[in-house]
Each structure stands twice: as structure tokens, then as C-alpha cells.
Structure 1
């Protein structure tokens, strides 16, 4: 053996032994000064500088957030306590990291275990209260607090918090839109949550650029006193200091034995190379040109990636798959956290048959196609090409960056949220309805303004060519002033006055002609006003509401002249007879239909009892019968003289929302949550089959009033003076008018930004009134023959 080679190997072995001894002495010194040590000269309980900076950044915002949570509701206050627990544990992790060296993965998992539990507790609370009216608050906090997991992110953790903020902004924007005109602290609460996460993102981006900072102040450790945050709330106190498991144990024998085995292998001399693989001439590329002709293997080359399944099995298996050409996202059901990470701008995404899911696209992609999806929300960083929506329902898409074109085909319900960078996007809609665009139009204001895409067009021949323009024939006046959803609106019998009412508990009176100004507001109801009707001579107005009362108002003085309190539950509908002594009939959730013969009488003259809630009621033309309907899906005709059911009309398959008798008294119009309107022949001595016609187009959904009393919106219907046309509102933001004889829809009018709860036709002129959940009343002029 060459003596020089042996000498060089011995020198290498000596140097490695010196390094090992230095490593062991340094590690043992760190261990003796780590958490749990009793050495006073190196252990410190003072607050580390990084933790002080954190406190200065977020304490004030966190205080404000907790105060607002306590003011809103008990549920939100409890949620605030959970948020405080998570931030306290997050602070503990940072403090502990400042005083110790970075541990192994297993012990690091123990360090952040409590923080993970606090974050999971918020998700569990959201699941437990899934039917809460504060679902947007719960979802916003769940997404936001997930950003505290940045402590486990290597390299650059700040983008992780930014992603959490972007996911949370979807729900924060919903809170902004729902409470922008209110003073109930919800708007400020959402704004503070956004600011809290923004401040945390700035702190991490500045102080933890390459990951969680370790051992910045060796030996420091949190105490019980130092863990009490400056924030004060009713939430439980933070957990105790970290257990002994957080300290780094003595160097294990595995490391020593591994180093010893390395030294032993080096001391074997030339025999140490026996285990190396020998390269034969046939394996050398410079001697074999054929090997160089083969395609080189690239480390960065994409492989087929399946997030949920490595290979798709059944046809309907949920998959998120890169197939080498496009991303395929298919058959997701109820997945609220689906993520697709795009590496290059040339990648496209195809989303197929997904239901009730939220899909996040990270990175700028080439294009996105949404095909046959239902109740699906897609948020993406930006697109080079188009976003296509095909044959889908109830879709929401949001861009955080650039977007050039949105193509919508055969889709019912699509909300598009545009960022400031995509305000020039082109929206192309074909055979689609209920398409709305929400955009951040004001600089410095994150609030989205919602605008409806026109659905109705007018085409005519101009100069031997067909010219199509947006039809705005219907809208001639917009009435605004209500502070909440409008549930009912009616013309007076002489056609000069409009009365409207709803969630804000007030009745507004408007002039029909001229400037349509609001000339009076009637106050007195203690709950939402559900229905109102004018007397036959328009001298009185009758109203009912969730306060279980029926009130009579004098139209000259505006005073409440009678307050009937015969019902024991919400009063859903009322009617006033057309001729004879003035009578009122009312329908209630207590299952009764009560009739008051005289406005001057205090007690109900007749009471008809049903075992189901009643939601609609009307008199027949002669006031000898009371017709009512409810959740039993049946329409019952009560004989007032015999006090029993004369006959029952069967045909609807869901709750009856409104009833209206034609002006000639021969027919009844009914509206139902089965998305149909039906006309019935109610003349005496007719065949048993009284159903005359069925009208489709309007849709219903379940919208609840934001109060303790929850109920479904009851969409109203009505007749034209000639009884040749009928009208109804719709939950998909349209007002409908049908021809009675042909049953064809002659008008489908857009404009509202919420459910159209009530429509009415003017008693003298072709004017349509529509009122909806967007707090707005529209008056439209119609072009109808034989009105």
C-alpha cells in the first residue's frame, strides 16, 4: 500500500473526529441552556424582540376584533374566543422558537401540536353550527386562521398567509355586501379580520423571510405570566408553557454510531472502493453514439399527478388530475378546499360535473372551462385566455388578477367577481339568464358593486338589416327608500297610490304619477310586514305581519284605526272584500283563517281552522266564500254560511304562496313553490276538474329573513284589469307576464338584484309594478293589447 495514501486517509479521519467532538460539545451546551434548564446565567424570561414586534403589529387589531365579536352575537363572541386561543398558541410557538435550535421533524410536530388543535377547534365549531345565520363569519375565520400554519412552511412562508387571506376574502366580501348599509358591527368586524391577517402577512414577510426564525435569543422561554396576552375577552386562558417534550434531548447514539461507522469505513484503505459500481465500456456514451440519441430524462419533467386518486377508477370518481395536457377536475361533490397548482401559464383546466364545491386555482393559467357544474365557486389568480361556463347552474367565479374574456353558454345563474386588474374583461352570454357582474369600481374601496347583465333584447329591421338592441321598454321609474327586503306592494283601487312594505316594519306610500315621490310612511308594526291590501274605495289600507297583528290604516290621516290581535302566530296574508260590508280575511301560521266582518268590530266574526299553516287567502267575488292555501299544497274553498269546506282544489305539489281572484270573479290564480302558477274555474256548477291552465317560468327558493322569526318568501301574483294577462315575481330576479289564453310568457323583465317577491298590474293603465329583496320598486310600461 502506498504510504502517502495511508497518511492522507489518517489526516481526513483526524479532521472528522475533531469536527464530531466540536459538534457534540456545542449541542450539549445548547441542551443545557435550552427550555427546562436551571442555569440562571443563560436562561431568560424576557420577551424576545420578534415577539415584541408581533405584539405591536396585531394586538390592537385583535383587541378590536374581539370587542366587535362580543357586540354582534353570542356565537360570534365564542368564535372570537377560539381565535384568541389560536393567536395565543401561535405567539407561544414563536417565543419557544426564539430560545431553541431547530428540532427534528418529529419534535417540531410536537411543538406545533397545540396550535394545530386550536385551528381544528374552529373548524369543528363551524361544523357544529353549520346552520347558523353567521355561516359566512364562521367560514371567513376558518379560512383566515388557517394562515397561522405558516410556522410549518419552509423557505418563504408569507405567501401561505396571503393564500389564506384570499380564501377568506370570498366570505368577507359576502359580509361586506350583506351589511354595507347597516350599523350592526358586522361590516367593521369583517374589515378588522381582513386587516388582522394583512398585518400578520406583513410581519412574517419582513421578519421571517426564509421561514420561522430559530434560536434568535438562546435560552429564552415563555412563562405563565408572559403568556397572558394583552387582549382581554371572555375566552378561556391560554395553555401553560410547553412541556419537557419541547426540549432537545441528548445526542442519540445513532449519530455517534453513524460517524464511527464512517470513520471505520475510511480506515479500511483501498478496500473502501470495492462497493462502488464499475462503469464498463458499453455503458460509456462517448464510445456508444446510440446512447446519446435517446431522449434525456429531465428532472423537472411533469408526471401524471392525481391528487385524490393515482388512477381514476369508476367513471364518477372525484379526481384532480394532470394528464400531461390539461388539468382535469371532475365529479367533486361538497369539496370546499379543492386546490389546483399551476406551474406554467400554458396549462389549461377543465372542470366537469362538480357540485357544491369551491375550487382554488393557484398560479396564472391559460384557460378554464366549467362544464355541467352546479353550485360551484372558482377563484383563480389570473388567466391568459378565456374563462368558459357551459350548461351550468348557480356558478360563481372570481379573478384575483387578469381576465380578458368570460364566455357563458346555456347557464342559469352566474355571478362574476372582477378585480381592479380585470375591469376591461369582455362578458359574452348566450342562451343564459341571471348573469351578474360584481366589480371593485372605487379606488381604495374593496366593496363590490353588483350589476345585472341584460337578458331581454329588441330586434327590428332597420335599412334591410336586423338590428338588435338591449330592451329597456319596461323600466320607467325606480323607487328606493326601504331599509330592507320588500315583501309586498299594491296599487290602490283608483290607481293613484302605491303602498309597499317589508322587512323594515314600515309601510311606504308613493304617488304613481309625476315624480313618484314618497309622501308618507306608516309606522306601528313591530315585525316585518308580510301583506297589505286597499279597501274597495281606497279609503283604508289593511296590513299584517310577523308581529301577529292585522292593522287598519286611515288613508287620509295615516293613523292606525284598528289593531286586531286574534292570531297567535305570524300572519302571512290578508284580503279585503270587493263589495258589501267591509270584511277582512287573514291567514296565519297558527293554522287559522279568521274573518272580521266590520272594521269597527274587535273580535273575529268567523274562524276556520286547519291543522296546517296557512300562507295565502282571498275572498271570492261575492264575498260568500273564503279561499285559502298553505303548506298542505291544497286550496280549500270555505262556505261562510255553512262554515265548512265547500270543495278542495288539488294540483300543486308544494306550498301555496299567493291567491288572486280575477276581476270578473270566474277564475282563481294560484302561485306555488313547485314553480308553477295555475288558473282554476271557481264558478258554481262546473265539472269536477276545475284546473284551467298551468304557467311555468318563475322559480322559488328558500330565502329567510335575518331575524329570530324565520320564514320563506311568499311570491305574490295578480291579474290585469281585462283578465287577459297574469303576472308573478321570481326568485331568479325576473318579473314575468303571461298571456292567459295562449299561456305564453310575453314579458320576462330583468333589473332586480334580488328575488322579485311581488308584482302587480295597474288597474287602469298598462303599468307593471315589481318589488324585491334588493329594497327596490320598479315601475314599467308594457305594450299589451286588450290590457
Structure 2
């Protein structure tokens, strides 16, 4: 399609190079005096060696490890959902499921907590649930019954007990589907624009996070939430453009948001934004007159100074957010103490930030164009990146892939040491 070719041409432009993203760090975060950093005598390493694992004929939109790291789930524009066995260092295709009722592409996937089923969404009124073993009788369409004729769930999350599914959609609403009752139990008019990201704050599944193209993150409490009068318990303002992804630290306190304003922000939900912050953020969004899907980032969009009322703890700059809803996440607790934030990038790299300093500590190459999704193994030192590029040259491995959209796995090498027990208690 012409539009896709145009996106590719911008991704390969000279302006979309390393140099275009240099020198954009946000304010340095000085942790409070009570912040504790524990050290261990053993050391782990940041991933820095690229090796190819698989490639597809079309674009890879999603890729995520299971909670235990023994499986990897990938979704591609070819409408296939692939499940890989990653136990004991393996990376072998275990199963391929043909996705149903797909419009454009599968846009998000997630495992259920018991890792017995996977969920996926697309441009459709339904979220789909299918069993890992591929039993067609257990491939179920979950009707969200939206009011919009053209409807899409951009982001999915499963509750810790596996009974509920949370979704964020293009109609600005949050949806909760109860699997035991087999029906939608909640629809919340949450944002003024597309809801691109949702997450549960912690294992209790009582607090919900949402992020939208209106540039706001909102925090919702299920215990006080009413569908007829939905009120968030707080809002987080400071981004100048739409939010593409959010990730919770899992402690019901901190989260990060990735944005089309080319930054990641760290938030503490104990400090919500005042009214003037919400006004400033909304005004900044209305002044954006470029389209991140196919245009290059204008210089005016790269302002560093904080908006009035910005209550973010830290801002991270050094990656590109173009073409698609690029994801960012906290690094794993077990191997890094969540010391890092890592993100996909429109330049085809994985960018890793130090949570405390905001500095870019590693840039991992491997794709020739946009990396949409990234997933760090919960216990091992590797990251898998999923790319929407049409060709990919894995320079570190000297392997050329004619039809990428595939993903590369970044494996362990003996560089970039850091104490495995070093934790960031921001």
C-alpha cells in the first residue's frame, strides 16, 4: 500500500538517524534520601548482542514473554498468532493459531495469568480468547457491544485472577469483560480521544491505568467506579502529545508512559496533576498539527521545558515514537531490580534508559525500521524486539532478512556490567 511505503520512506530518511535523537534527555531525577539501593556480589549484563530468531512475510506488531518466560507470543499482520517454546534456552515454534475477525492486523496480545489461553484484539467488536493447545472449540469471541460502527481495542490486559479483561478502545472508553459471566460488565467514558494503553496497577486488579491520544494518563479505582458517572481518582498531565503505551511497575505507585511527543515519563500516583496541568496539556495537544504516522518530527515538537503543572517524576528522551504505537516497559525485577526502562524506537533500535539518571545506557541495533514492541525475559538476559519493517539487516549477526516484520532476540554478551541486586526504589 502506498501509505505503508510512505511510512517506510520516512523511517529510512537521514533525519531519522541516531543523531536526530541525541541530546534530548529530560530533567535529571534525584532520588529522595530514603531511596535504598541494595547491592549484590553477583553481576548480570545488559543485552548487547543481536541474533536472528524468526522472520515473517508481513509486519510483526506484538511480541511478549509469558510471566514465567517459558513461552513467547507473537502477532503478525499475516493474521497468524505464533507461540514459541522458550524453555531451557530454546526458541522453537510450538503452535500457530489463525486469528479470526481481523481488521488490518492483530494489534495487541496477552497471556491469561495461568498461561493456558491468549487474548488478542483488532479492528473488531470482539476480543478473542483462544486456548494454547489450539483446540478450535475453545476459540471464543468476546462481544464488547460497542456503539461505534468502526471499533478497535488498541490495548489489552488480564486481571491477576484471570476473571476479567481490561481493554482501551478508539471510542475513548475503557471496557471490562467478565469471563465467568461471559459479558461486558463495565464501559467507562474515560478520555476525549483514542485510548491507546491500559494496565492494572498491581496484583489486586483494583486500580486501573489508562493513556490516551488526549495526552493524559488517568487512574481509576474499581471500588468507587460508576458507569453512569465515571470519575478517575486522579489524572497525570505533562505530555504534549498522545500517549502510545503505559506500563505499571506493579507496585500500585509508579508507571511509565510513552508518547508521540518523543518522550517517556515516570509518574508517581501519589502526586496527581493540578487543574492547570490538565489545561496546559490539552492546549499543547491542540497545537500539534503533524501526523506521527507518516511525517517526520517537527522541531517545535521537541520542546524540553516542562509544561505548567507537569507532575512527572522524570522524563526520558533519546528514542523516536513514529508510525505506530511504540511500547516501553520497566526491566525485570529478578535480573535488574527494575533499574532500567527499555523502549522500541522508530529508528529500528531498542533504547535502554537508566531509571534514576535518565541517561541512555544502551542502543541495540537489529532492524532497519520501526521496532513496535519489546519484551525482556523475566529471568534471563535477553530482549526480543518485534518490528514493522519490511526488510531487516541484522548487522551484528551479518544476516540479511528479505522479508522482516520479524523479530530479533538480543542475547547475553560480557559487557555493560551492573549489580544484579541493584534496585531502583523511586
Question: What is the TM-score with the length of structure 1 in the denominator?
Answer: 0.38
Residues 121-270 of structure 1: pairs in structure 2 closer than 5 A: 134=2
Cα contact 1:522–1:558 (8 A) shared by 2 = no
Residue 545 in 1 paired to residue 122 in 2?
yes
Specify the SS of the correspondent of 1:699. Answer: coil
Residue of structure 2 aligned with 1:534, choices 111, 114, 117: 111
Aligned to 1:574: 156
Aligned to 1:654: 241
Distance (Å, rounded) in 2 between the aligned partners of 1:758 and 1:686: 28
Residue of structure 2 aligned with 1:785, choices 397, 415, 419: 419
Aligned to 2:332: 721
Alignment CA distance shift 1:785-1:472 (3 Å): closer
Alignment CA distance shift 1:135-1:549 (3 Å): closer
Residue 490 of structure 1 and its aligned partner are, at CA, apart by 0.4
Which has the higher relative contact order, 1 or 2, with Cα contacts under 8 A spaced 6 or more apart?
A: 2
Aligned to 1:394: 13
Distance (Å, rounded) in 1 between the aligned partners of 2:170 and 2:84: 30
Residue 626 in 1 paired to residue 173 in 2?
no
Alignment CA distance shift 1:639-1:472 (3 Å): closer
Cα contact 2:341–2:355 (8 A) shared by 1 = yes
Specify the SS of the correspondent of 1:670. Answer: strand
Question: In proportion to residue count, which structure has more strand?
Answer: 2
Distance (Å, rounded) in 1 between the aligned partners of 2:360 and 2:332: 18
Residue 515 of structure 1 and its aligned partner are, at CA, apart by 4.8
Aligned to 2:358: 743
Alignment CA distance shift 1:627-1:501 (3 Å): same
Aligned to 1:668: 255
Aligned to 2:279: none
Alignment CA distance shift 1:631-1:679 (3 Å): same
Residue 690 of structure 1 and its aligned partner are, at CA, apart by 4.8
Aligned to 1:583: 164
Residue 769 in 1 paired to residue 399 in 2?
no
Residue 695 in 1 paired to residue 316 in 2?
yes
Question: In proportion to residue count, which structure has more helix?
Answer: 1
Query: In the comparison of the two structures, how many residue pairs are matched?
Result: 323
Distance (Å, rounded) in 2 between the aligned partners of 1:778 and 1:786: 24
Specify the SS of the correspondent of 1:753. Answer: coil
Q: Which runs of 5+ in 1 are unaligned?
A: 1-132, 137-173, 179-355, 357-374, 376-392, 396-411, 415-430, 435-470, 704-712
Residue 562 in 1 paired to residue 140 in 2?
yes
Cα contact 1:502–1:529 (8 A) shared by 2 = yes
Residue 557 of structure 1 and its aligned partner are, at CA, apart by 3.7
Alignment CA distance shift 1:134-1:495 (3 Å): closer
Instruction: Say what the alpha-carbon RMSD is for the aligned residues.
Output: 3.0
Alignment CA distance shift 1:581-1:502 (3 Å): closer
Residue 753 in 1 paired to residue 387 in 2?
no
Aligned to 2:57: 483
Alignment CA distance shift 1:475-1:433 (3 Å): farther
Distance (Å, rounded) in 1 between the aligned partners of 2:342 and 2:177: 29
Residue 476 of structure 1 and its aligned partner are, at CA, apart by 3.5
Aligned to 2:79: 505
Residue 745 of structure 1 and its aligned partner are, at CA, apart by 1.2
Deviations 1:735-783 (A, max 9, x none): 1111111222111111102200011111111211111113121111255
Distance (Å, rounded) in 2 between the aligned partners of 1:736 and 1:484: 24
Q: Which runs of 5+ in 2 are unaligned?
A: 22-45, 226-230, 275-309, 390-404, 422-426
Cα contact 1:496–1:511 (8 A) shared by 2 = yes
Aligned to 1:594: 175
Residue 681 of structure 1 and its aligned partner are, at CA, apart by 1.1
Alignment CA distance shift 1:786-1:548 (3 Å): farther
Residues 177-576 of structure 1: pairs in structure 2 closer than 5 A: 394-395=13-14, 412-413=15-16, 473-480=48-55, 482-513=56-87, 514-525=89-100, 526-527=102-103, 528-559=105-136, 560-566=138-144, 567=146, 568=148, 569-576=151-158
